[in-house]
Chains A and B, each alone.
Chain A
Amino acid sequence: MVVRVRVRNAETGATVDMELEMENTVEEIIEGVSAYWEKDPGAYVIRKGRRLLRGQQKVQELDVQANEELELIPDPEGGNR
């Protein structure tokens, strides 16, 4: 089974649709859209509504609906220099 979701880039507002298998993980979504948008190497998280998704979670665990929007957010690492 395949589900199509929309992923929004929090930095630019751009969106892309992504077809996901139930076995795909959140980490694979992050890597897929990061490559598509040619993001700088850095740490990112995905949110679904008001919840941050864990990297190892599979699509089948996410209760994600067709065409639901997820958002890719940079996870800032700096602060001491």
Chain B
Amino acid sequence: MAELIRPGERDEDRHDRTRLITWVDMDKVSSSNVLVVGAGALGNEAVKDLALFGFRHVDVLDMDTVVRSNLSRCVLFREGDQSSGKGKAPLVAERARGLCPEIDIKAIEGKVQSLGPEDMKRYDMILGCLDNVAARLHLNANSYHAQVPYVDGGTDGFRGRVQAVVPPFSPCLQCGMNRSHFKVMERRFSCTGQDTVFYQPKMAAEITTTSIVAAVQVREAVKILSGRSAIANVMHYDGLAGTSEVFALDIDPGCSNHLSAKLS
């Protein structure tokens, strides 16, 4: 018997146009478990893109609440959220459900340091939408040891970077770091004599670079989950020049993540 079709039925499929990109594995996209760490500027954009793209199982982690200055670059936050007392993660989850009712999205209110390799193993993909070197190193090491692909994004004004880490083949974030990164990390922690305080400076940020960097993170996630090669290895974006370039990076033979992977 011939297949039965109706006029206009393709337009009823939310993802019909995406399915025209033949290499995208929509079954894999919709069945994958994704962890987004950070529900701020990059996290908002990443979750928006994940929801619209067709991801259906997403956890989003953040420990923070909304302040009014977030509203210039967080597409899922609304005026008034800053006085609601709600955390960023639950707000992002709630608004993502508004974008796509089929999404199963869970908010986790906590620090990235609360997650270890066993937690990471529950995921097929991890997106780092963070704002400091220490949190990145934690996520990088734990996702590497759990052998889960990790796509990290970072911004500073009109500059951005994305690195895709696919264990065990690619270099990790730590492989590309040098003394300047560790000095930045040290400056974030100051000793008061009684306690160690984490100091977070206000960093330049705007929506256009945020959108681009988060979009590249989600696109890399789609590529990796669809069986395609990720960028090798680090994309640097310069919004003022209007350029982006992908640079190769070697595995650091002294990197503790790669050394311990060899030993285990």
Contact = CB atoms under 8 A, between A and B. Distances in A.
Given A51-B247, A52-B247, A56-B252, A76 B176 contact: no
A78 B245 contact: no
B184 A77 contact: yes
Interface string A3-34: 00000001000000000000000110011001
Nearest to A78: B203
Contact of A54 (B39, B202, B252): B252
B184 A51 contact: no
Q: What is the interface residue range for chain B against chain A? A: 35 or more
B159 A47 contact: no
A73 B236 contact: yes
A74 B247 contact: no
Contacts of B39: 80
Q: Which 4 A-B pairs have the closest CB atoms?
A: A55-B178, A80-B40, A76-B156, A78-B203
A10 B155 CA distance: 15
B238 A81 contact: no
Given A76-B156, A78-B204, A79-B154, A52 B179 contact: no
Given A77-B156, A78-B154, A79-B153, 7 more contacts: A27-B179, A55-B180, A56-B252, A76-B160, A78-B203, A79-B131, A80-B40
Nearest to B37: A80
A77 B154 contact: yes
A52 B180 contact: no
B183 A41 contact: yes
A79 B180 contact: no
A73 B159 CA distance: 10
A81 B205 contact: yes
B70 interface: yes
28 contacts: A26-B178, A31-B179, A41-B184, A41-B187, A43-B181, A43-B184, A44-B178, A44-B180, A51-B247, A54-B175, A55-B179, A56-B252, A76-B155, A76-B156, A77-B154, A77-B184, A78-B154, A78-B156, A78-B203, A79-B130, A79-B131, A79-B153, A79-B155, A80-B39, A80-B40, A81-B40, A81-B70, A81-B203
B38 interface: yes
Contacts of B203: 77-78, 81
B249 interface: yes
Contacts of A30: 178-180
Interface of A: 10, 26-27, 30-31, 34, 41-45, 47, 50-52, 54-56, 73-81
A42 B133 CA distance: 11
A42 B154 contact: no
Given A41-B187, A42-B184, A56-B254, A77 B131 contact: yes
B157 to A, nearest CB: 8
B38 A80 contact: yes
Interface in B221-264: 233-234, 236, 238, 245-250, 252, 254
A32 B116 CA distance: 38
